[in-house]
Structure 1
Amino acid sequence: MSGERPRAGGHSEDTLDLRLPDGLIALATADALDGHGARRRDEDTTQSSVSVAATVEPSRPFVVPRHDDLLDRVAEWGPADTPAGVFRLVPVRLERDLPLISRWMNDPAAAAFWELSGPQDVTEGHLRAQLAGDGRSVPCIGVLDGAPMSYWEIYRADLDPLARHYPARPHDTGIHLLVGGVADRGHGLGGLLLRAVADLVLAQRPSCARVIAEPDIRNTPSIAAFLTAGFRFSAEVDLPAKRAALMVRDRAVRHLA
Structure 2
Amino acid sequence: MNTTVFTRTDTLGEFSLRPVDPPADAPLLHAWVTHPKAVFWLMQDCDLPAVEKEFTRIDADPFHDAFLGLHNGTPAFLMERYDPAHRELVGVHAAEPGDVGMHFLTAPTATPLHGFTRAVITTVMEALFADPATRRIVVEPDARNTAVHALNKAVGFEVVRTVSLPSKDAHLSTCTRDQFLATQGDPR
TM-score interval, normalised by the smaller of the two chains: 0.7 to 0.9
Where does the alignment leave 5 or more consecutive residues of structure 2 unmatched?
Answer: 184-188
1:228 aligns with 2:168: no
In the alignment, the residues of structure 2 paired with residue 113 and residue 255 of structure 1 have an alpha-carbon distance, to the nearest angstrom, of: 27
In the alignment, the residues of structure 2 paired with residue 140 and residue 184 of structure 1 have an alpha-carbon distance, to the nearest angstrom, of: 23
Return the letter of the residue paired with 1:138: D
1:133 aligns with 2:73: no
1:215 aligns with 2:135: no
Deviation by residue 1:181-206 (Cα, 9 ceiling, x = unmatched): 23454733222221221122112x21
Return the letter of the residue paired with 1:90: R
In the alignment, the residues of structure 2 paired with residue 109 and residue 152 of structure 1 have an alpha-carbon distance, to the nearest angstrom, of: 16
Shift of 1:95: 3.1
Q: Which of 83, 86, 103 is matched with 2:11 structurally?
A: 83
Where does the alignment leave 5 or more consecutive residues of structure 1 unmatched?
Answer: 1-35, 37-74
Q: Which of 54, 70, 81 is matched with 1:143 structurally?
A: 70
Question: Which has a greater percent of strand?
Answer: 2
Aligned residues: 181
In the alignment, the residues of structure 1 paired with residue 16 and residue 64 of structure 2 have an alpha-carbon distance, to the nearest angstrom, of: 17
Q: Which residue of 2 aligns with 1:177?
A: 104
Identity over aligned pairs, percent:
28
SS at match of 2:90: helix
Deviation by residue 1:183-237 (Cα, 9 ceiling, x = unmatched): 454733222221221122112x212210111110101111112112222222211
Higher normalized contact order (CA 8 Å, seq sep 6+, divided by chain length): 1
1:115 aligns with 2:42: yes
Q: Which residue of 1 aligns with 2:125?
A: 198
Over the residues paired in the alignment, what is the CA RMSD in angstroms?
2.0
The equivalences for 1:56-71 within 5 A come to: none
Q: Which residue of 2 aligns with 1:253?
A: 179
- Paired residues of 1:152 and 1:175 also in contact (CA < 8 A): yes
Return the letter of the residue paired with 1:198: M
Deviation by residue 1:43-74 (Cα, 9 ceiling, x = unmatched): xxxxxxxxxxxxxxxxxxxxxxxxxxxxxxxx
Shift of 1:250: 0.5
1:159 aligns with 2:86: yes
